[in-house]
């Protein structure tokens, strides 16, 4: 539970990054795409976890969530280079 609240605290950081890194004329569009991606994850992940938990138990669902979190962390570490405003 503490880890969930810790992760929830990072949500506000991501919105400040969107507003400070997006081109000034595209902040609204960038925020909308960012919100769409978050909403898409908010729709698909519960469906996948529910399917896995119902069919196979909670262990595969936890493995799925862990894999998605690991892929996200590795993406930030390995793919994101120097962070600065575009344009």
The pTM score is 0.67
Distances from the Cα of 63 to the Cαs of 68, 80, 81, in angstroms? 9, 25, 28
Quick: pLDDT tens for 18-56: 888 888 899 899 999 988 988 898 899 999 999 999 999
Higher-pLDDT residue of 12 and 65 is: 65
Contacts of 3 (CB under 8 A, 6+ apart): none
Instruction: Describe the crossing of helices 11-21 and 27-56 by its angle, rounded to 10 degrees.
Output: 150
- Domain assignments of the chain as residue spans, ordered by start: 1-80
């Amino acid at each position: 539970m503490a880890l969930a609240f810790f992760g929830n605290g990072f949500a506000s950081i991501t919105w400040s990054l969107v507003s400070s890194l997006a081109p000034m004329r595209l902040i609204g569009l960038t925020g909308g795409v960012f919100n769409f991606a978050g909403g898409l994850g908010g729709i698909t992940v519960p469906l996948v976890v529910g399917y896995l938990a119902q069919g196979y138990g909670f262990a595969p669902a936890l493995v799925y969530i862990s894999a998605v979190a690991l892929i996200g962390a590795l993406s930030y570490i390995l793919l994101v280079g120097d962070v600065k405003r575009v344009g």
